[in-house]
Amino acid sequence: MYTPDFAAVRLDFPRARTAAYFDNASSHPLSVHSAAALHRYVEWLTHEVGEPWWPQWAASRDEAKHLFAQLINAEPREIAFARSTVESESNLLNGMGEFLAGGNVVTNDLHYGAALYNYQMRKQDGLELRVVKNRNWQIELGDMAKAIDQHTRLVSLSLVSNVNGLLAQVKEIAALAHARGALLYADIIQAAGAVPIDVKAMGIDMAACSTFKWLMGVKGFGFLYVRADLQNTVVKPTQHSGGVRQNYAPWTPAPDPALSDFSHTPVPGPHCYEVSYPSYEGAVCAHESLRYILRLGVLHIRAHVRGLAERLQEELPALGYPSITPRGNESSILAFVSPNPEATLARTRAAGVHVAMRYGNKMRLSPSVYNNHDDIDRLLAALN
Ligand SMILES: Cc1ncc(COP(=O)(O)O)c(C=O)c1O
């Protein structure tokens, strides 16, 4: 059976030589392979004649979509290019106006801050919002069950929380939502590439992410998943982009009398959510990194990271950093309470260790494929 050589993987990420970098949940470094693909594209833009949508680059763009569909077990016809996670969730809400009207939306306080802000702002327009609060940094199923009722139209969550890495009990929550006629949206930016995702088995109806975290790509480019039967029905496009045929002189020498002056064919499938050209820089990078991730295998990636995460869960509390991530949680993000955030940051910085300090005193660590036990040794030595 194939098992990746993670020592070789480390060589693919030069940032591993710059620092013991534990902040992949903020932004993941590019591999040398994705960087090379991006360089090739930039070279081509600089020297060659042509358009990015010519076959050479359009093939990468389209294959990126197929590979992403494969990664989350969706069909390519359920995937649109997107610019960002937060924008996608907002666009979905805008397009679901009729469906949401008169109902409520349920989310929880481990969802992403900007998404929660988006919902708070919509309360001004009459949205009924229910935010389930965590208990000891976990979301209790019973609390979600209480909040979701027959008026709930949408349940929105982060599949993996950026706060403490909590992997949502998405299958169970989706079942609660579906039993009441509601849909489930998952923000998958902290999950895609790091944990296995099967939108069908998990009951995820809509999802979005951009590529600069566990998809090892760049900002401003990502993917939106909308279940096929919801497209253009429950989830309407809110911006339009397509072509119009002018059926009169001087546009055409032989106007077709059966057609009106202006005619158009609605863009099919998920393209209805795409406006303007996608970022080809993003697509080229995503294409290369998705190939890389699928080659390694998400299960192998997770197993490697879990080995590192378990050690952090074991050793940091003993150094006075209690964990706010449940033991055995299967994501790549962990958070620990620092007794003295300024001192922690000063000591880690001096040791060439990069951690994130969030919400005052929560030290977030997010190891990835190229991290190893030497990195952890360095972190522990700095904190000890
Ligand atoms: C859970 C989560 N959602 C969304 C975002 C923002 O992503 P985007 O820039 O694609 O909107 C982040 C991180 O920045 C995040 O951690």
Express each pLDDT in 231-246 by its tens digit. Answer: 999 999 999 999 999 9
Three-class secondary structure of residue 86 per DSSP: helix
In 3D, which of 202, 185, 213 has the Cα closest to residue 27?
213
Ligand 1 centre and the CA of 86: distance in Å? 6
> In one letter, which amino acid is 176?
L
To the question of domain 6-22+297-383 being in CATH 3.40.50.300, the answer is: no
Among the residues of the chain, which ranges form H helices? 6-11, 15-18, 32-47, 55-72, 85-95, 97-100, 113-123, 141-147, 170-179, 199-202, 280-296, 298-315, 341-350, 373-383
Q: Is the pLDDT of residue 2 over 90?
A: no
In 3D, which of 309, 308, 304 has the Cα closest to residue 369?
304
CA atoms of 79 and 71, how far apart (whole Å): 11
Residues with CB under 6 A from ligand 1: 84-86, 112, 158, 162, 187, 189-190, 210, 222
Task: Give me the chain's average pLDDT, please.
Answer: 97
Q: Is the pLDDT of residue 343 over 90?
A: yes
Q: What is the per-residue pLDDT for 1? A: 78
pLDDT classification of 262: cutoffs 50, 70, 90 = very high
CA atoms of 370 and 110, how far apart (whole Å): 27
Ligand 1 centre and the CA of 118: distance in Å? 13
> In one letter, which amino acid is 364?
R
pLDDT classification of 101: cutoffs 50, 70, 90 = very high
To the question of domain 37-293 being in CATH 3.40.50.880, the answer is: no
* Domain map (residue ranges) of the chain: 6-22+297-383, 37-293
Pocket test of ligand 1: the residue of 166, 189, 366 to mutate, having most ligand atoms within 8 Å of its CB, is 189
pLDDT classification of 23: cutoffs 50, 70, 90 = very high
- Domain 37-293 in the same topology as domain 6-22+297-383: no
Q: What is the per-residue pLDDT for 220? A: 97
Percent of the chain with pLDDT over 70: 100
Q: Is the pLDDT of residue 301 over 90?
A: yes
